[in-house]
Chain A
Amino acid sequence: MGGSFDPSLIFNSIPKLLPYLHITIEILALSVGIGLLLGILIAMPKLYHIPILKEIVTVYISFIRGTPILIQLFLVFYGLPVIIGQLGIDITRMDPFYFVIITYTLSNAASFAEIFRGAISSVDYGQTEAAYSVGFTPWQNFYRIVFPQAFRVAFPNIANTSISSLKDTSLAFSIGVMDMMGRGETLITATAHAVEIYISLAIIYYVVVLIFERGFKWIEHYLNRYLVKDELSM
C-alpha cells in the first residue's frame, strides 16, 4: 500500500480500535457461557450411553472438529436463513452478530463436550458410591459431587479453548460484524497503511490474551485449593 512505514500510526490507531473491543468480548462471553451449558448437555449421551442421541452428538462433534471455523461461520450465515425460511420465518435481515454467536457457541460446545466427557469420567467412582450410600439422587450426586471436581479437571482445557476462540472472533468481520477487525479494515482503507494497523490489532489481541491467561491461572489456582502439593505436580 501507499506511503512508507509510519510507526506513530501504530499507537495512534489503538485508541480508534479499542472502542470496538467490547464486541469481541461479548462474542466470547456469550459463546463460551452458552457453549459451556450446551457442552455439558452434549457430553451426556456419550457418558451415559443414550442410544441414537449418542450417534447424533458423535457426528456433530466430529463435524465441528473436522471443519474450519470460517466455513462453519459461512454455513450458518448463509444456511440457517434457508432452513429457518422453510418455516416461514425470515431471518435474512438479522444482525450478523447473532450468526456469529450461534456459530461460536456451536463450535465451543463441541470442544467443551469432549473436555467435560473426559473430566467427568476422571472423577473417582467411589465418591459417587459414597453419595448414593448416603441417599443422594443421581442428580444431587452430579451437581454436588461429580461436577465440581470434573470442572477443576476440565478448567485448563476450557481456558485454552476459550483463548483460541477469542482469537477466532477476529473472523466475525468476514460476515460484516463491526468488531475490532472490521474497524481495522476501515482504518486501512482510510490511511492506506496496512502493516501498522495490523500491528496495532496484534498488540491489542496479545494484551487481551495475556490478561485472560492471568485471570485463568488465578481461577485454576483457586479450583486446585483442595489438592495437596505433590498431587499438583503430578
Chain B
Amino acid sequence: MIQLTNIHKSFGKTDVLKGIDLQVNKGDIISILGPSGSGKTTLLRCINFLEKANEGSIEIDDIALDVRHATKKEIVALRKKTAMVFQSYNLFQHKTVLQNITEGLVVVQKKNEKEANEIAKTMLAKIGLEHKADAFPSSLSGGQQQRVGIARALALNPEVILFDEPTSALDPELVGEVLDVIRKIAKEGITMIIVTHEMNFARDISNRVVFMDGGVVVEEGTPRQIFNNPKNDRTKQFLRRLVPEFTYEI
C-alpha cells in the first residue's frame, strides 16, 4: 500500500538518507528505531514532503510520485492521504481543541461544519477530552495537546498516520497517557509508522520494526526478531544501551 523506493536525502553536503526502501502494508504498525541522527525523522518527513527527498519514489495508495518531478498539486494530493503527529504537537494556537480537529475536515475535505463537528466530538471522546472541546491549546498540558494532535490526525481518516517521536517532548509522567491513546487507536487497524525512542512501546505495539543507522535500514523484522534475536551488531549495540534488561535468545 505504501512503497518507498531508493529514497535519498542530503542537507548540504551531509547525506542523511542513503537509499531507503520500505514497504508498508495496510494495517501495518511499523516502528522506526535508531540512534539520533540516523535519519528516521527525515525519512518520515520525506513521506509527506515536509522534506523533499533528492531522489527516489513514493507510492501511497493510487498515487505514485518520482520525488524529483512531483508537482505542487501531486504533493497536496499525497498529503491528503497522510496525517502526521508531531513531536512538538504543532496545534493551531488560535483555534479551540474542537476547531483544531475540524479545520482539516472543513478546509481540505470540504465537509460541512455540522458533519465535521460530529466527527471531532467522536474523536475527542476517543482520546478522553470531550470536556476540553472549547479550550485553547495553550491551556492544556503537553500530554493533552499531543492527544489532540493524534485526534486531529485520526479525524482525517488517512491511509497512514506518521508519528514523529510523539512522546519525546513530554514530561515523563505524561508519556503514559499519550502511549495509551496510540495503543487504543492501533487496535482499530489504521496503518501507522512511528518514529520513537520508547522501546517497550515499540515492542508491544508494532508488527514490524525497522532499525536505521547512518541513513540506511540496517535491519528489519518482527519485534521478536529485532528485540530478541537481532542479527546486526549495530542493532545489538543500540538495544543493549537502551534496554537495560536486554538479553537475546540464542
Q: Is the CB of A227 within 8 A of B80?
A: no
Beyond A133-B84, A135-B79, whether A127 also contacts B92 by CB under 8 A is: yes
Q: Is A21 an interface residue (CB 8 A)?
A: no
Interface members, chain B 94-108 (any A CB < 8 Å): 94-96, 103-104, 107-108
B86–A130 contact, CB under 8 A?
Answer: yes
Residues of B within 8 A of A149 (CB): 93-94
| Cβ-defined contact, B88 with A126, below 8 A | yes
CB neighbours of A126 from chain B (8 A): 86, 88-90
By the criterion CB–CB under 8 Å, are B90 and A129 in contact? yes
Total chain B interface residues with beta-carbon distance under 8 A: 31
Is residue B167 contacting chain A, with contact meaning CB distance below 8 A?
no
Q: Which of A124, A133, A137, A226 has the most CB of B within 10 A?
A: A133
Contact B138 A227 (CB under 8 A): yes
Q: A126-B86, A126-B88, A226-B93 are in contact. Are A134 and B103 (CB under 8 A)?
A: yes
- Interface 9-mer from A22-30, A140-148, A159-167, A207-215: A140-148
Complex Cα–Cα for A227 and B107 (A): 24
| In the complex, B31 has a CB within 8 A of chain A | no
- Chain B residues lying within 8 Å of A225, measured Cβ to Cβ, are 136
Give residues in B with beta carbon < 8 Å to A.
48-50, 72, 76, 79-80, 82-84, 86, 88-96, 103-104, 107-108, 136-139, 152, 156, 162
Query: A130-B86, A133-B50, A144-B103 given. 14 additional CB < 8 A pairs?
Result: A124-B90, A124-B93, A126-B86, A127-B93, A129-B86, A131-B92, A132-B49, A132-B50, A133-B48, A133-B82, A133-B83, A133-B86, A140-B108, A226-B94
List, sorted by A's number, 8 A–B pairs whose CB atoms are closer than 8 Å: A124-B90, A126-B86, A127-B92, A134-B83, A149-B93, A226-B96, A226-B136, A226-B138
